[in-house]
């Protein structure tokens, strides 16, 4: 508790502002329209945020190293277009087409990363050019078709339009709780064996208990409609996997080191260029898979796929969730929390029959507030010497 209080005093608020903001947003919209927290609307909300949320998850990797990727939306569009053309026009198996789309996205990210590290082109300019180029490539891939529909009963469509039975949610809650307790005990044992102080379990138990309660509550809510959406489960599964990658692996520590101070990381023996190339590759891979989920939900790919406000929402979600624009700070859960905020605002405004203009204004205001909080936290850490 003392450690957390000290972090708050230095301006490191963590996910607290986002969680409080999400609660306030939910209360306001529920008062304005009683259907906001209904099982049907929450299920629709989960379907709406999954595809863009996966793209935001990839944006986190690039922001952590202090860079930006403006091509994520276009990458999701061209890769999903390639997937549908291969499946519908050329008869490829859907699973193989999905794999090819993700590999195509990885190749694009690798291309961006190599140009960025080898030629020193600023990521803003590089990916802005990529945004235009891959958007043009998408039009070429689609050709004269314009829109290509996906079969309603096919493998691709099932990704975003399948619901699972509620018992799966209870199993996930039980597995998470068991794994959390086991992790806490193993960590304590590891520290004792090495003569290190063992922290009290209270904070970890409270956090893990809260997450378990959220899983159980979500399961109960979704079970009252059609069941647990598969696309939401995929999104949350990717969030957990990325969280393990960022916090529990050597590569994750290198990623944060490069974002915090690239020169210091280089002097410590870290291959800074390689880390940045991998970050761009992962970001584009997740953008491609986000495009697959978007195509699955809409049962089609067209010339507008990956466009509109998808890129802006993905970047805004990562920043609103707590990933720093200055590099060195961020988490996988920031994409989830930020996407929930943006999705809740958009969904609530739709229930209130508000125009897109109002939604853009409110989303922009939330984004600016998140950046202000990040800037203040950065100053607080600098003043405290952290």
pLDDT tens digit at each of 386 positions of the chain: 566 555 555 555 667 778 888 888 899 999 988 889 899 999 999 988 999 999 999 999 999 999 999 999 999 999 999 999 999 989 899 999 999 999 999 999 999 999 999 998 999 999 999 999 999 999 999 888 788 999 887 889 899 888 989 899 999 999 988 988 888 888 888 878 777 777 777 777 787 888 889 899 999 999 888 889 999 999 999 998 999 899 889 999 999 999 988 899 999 889 999 999 999 999 999 999 999 999 999 899 998 888 878 998 899 889 888 888 888 888 888 899 989 988 998 888 888 888 878 878 887 887 787 777 767 666 665 555 55
pLDDT in tens, 311-364: 988 998 898 888 888 888 888 888 999 899 889 988 888 888 888 788 788 878
Residues 188-197: b if buried by 16+ CB within 10 A, e if exposed: beeeeeeeee
pLDDT of residue 4: 59
Q: What is d(CA 162, CA 231) in angstroms, rounded to the nearest whole number?
A: 8
- Non-local CB neighbours of 247 within 8 Å, separated by 6+ positions: 331
- Non-local CB neighbours of 62 within 8 Å, separated by 6+ positions: 68, 69, 123, 279, 280, 283
Tokens coding 69: 């990727």
pLDDT of residue 382: 56
Q: Are 182 and 201 in contact (CB under 8 A)?
A: no
Q: What is d(CA 178, CA 185) in angstroms, rounded to the nearest whole number?
A: 11
Q: What is d(CA 318, CA 321) in angstroms, rounded to the nearest whole number?
A: 5
Q: Using the 8-state DSSP alphabet, how is residue 200 labeled?
A: P
Q: Are 281 and 296 in contact (CB under 8 A)?
A: no
The domain limits of the chain are 2-165+227-384
- Tell how far CA 382 is from the center of its chain: 28
Q: What is d(CA 67, CA 54) in angstroms, rounded to the nearest whole number?
A: 18
List Cα–Cα distances, 148 to 12, 137, 138, in angstroms.
47, 16, 12
Q: Are 93 and 150 in contact (CB under 8 A)?
A: no
Terminal alpha carbon distance of the chain: 18
CATH class entry, domain 2-165+227-384 = mainly alpha
Classify 163 as helix, strand or coil: strand
Q: Using the 8-state DSSP alphabet, how is residue 10 labeled?
A: T
């Amino acid at each position: 508790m003392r450690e957390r209080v000290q972090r708050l005093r230095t301006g490191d608020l963590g996910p607290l502002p986002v969680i409080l903001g999400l609660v306030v947003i939910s209360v306001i919209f529920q008062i304005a329209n009683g259907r906001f927290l209904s099982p049907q609307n929450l299920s629709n909300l989960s379907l709406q945020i999954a595809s863009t949320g996966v793209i935001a998850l990839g944006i986190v990797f690039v922001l952590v190293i202090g860079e930006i990727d403006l091509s994520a939306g276009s990458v999701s569009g061209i890769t999903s277009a390639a997937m549908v053309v291969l499946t519908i026009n050329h008869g490829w198996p859907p699973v193989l087409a999905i794999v090819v789309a993700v590999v195509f996205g990885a190749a694009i990210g690798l291309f961006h990363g190599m140009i960025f590290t080898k030629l020193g082109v600023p990521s803003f300019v590089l990916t802005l050019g990529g945004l235009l180029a891959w958007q043009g490539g998408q039009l070429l891939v689609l050709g004269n078709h314009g829109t290509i529909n996906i079969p309603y009963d096919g493998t691709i469509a099932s990704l975003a339009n399948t619901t699972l039975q509620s018992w799966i949610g209870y199993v996930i809650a039980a597995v998470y709780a068991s794994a959390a307790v086991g992790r806490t005990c193993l960590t304590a044992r590891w520290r004792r064996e090495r003569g290190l102080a063992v922290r009290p379990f209270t904070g970890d138990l409270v956090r893990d208990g809260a997450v378990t309660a959220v899983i159980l509550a979500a399961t109960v809510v979704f079970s009252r409609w059609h069941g647990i959406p598969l696309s939401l489960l995929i999104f949350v599964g990717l969030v957990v996997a990325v969280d393990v990658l960022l916090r529990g692996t050597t590569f994750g520590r290198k990623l944060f080191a490069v974002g915090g101070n690239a020169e210091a990381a280089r002097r410590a023996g870290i291959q800074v260029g390689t880390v940045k190339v991998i970050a761009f590759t992962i970001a584009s891979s997740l953008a491609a898979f986000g495009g697959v989920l978007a195509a699955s939900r809409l049962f089609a790919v067209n010339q507008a796929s990956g466009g509109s406000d998808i890129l802006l929402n993905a970047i805004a979600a990562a920043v609103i969730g707590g990933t720093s624009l200055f590099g060195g700070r961020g988490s996988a859960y920031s994409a989830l929390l930020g996407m929930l905020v943006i999705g809740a605002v958009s969904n609530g405004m739709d229930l209130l029959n508000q125009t897109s203009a109002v939604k853009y204004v409110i989303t922009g205001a939330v984004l600016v507030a998140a950046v202000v909080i990040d800037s203040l936290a950065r100053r607080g850490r600098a003043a405290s010497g952290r």
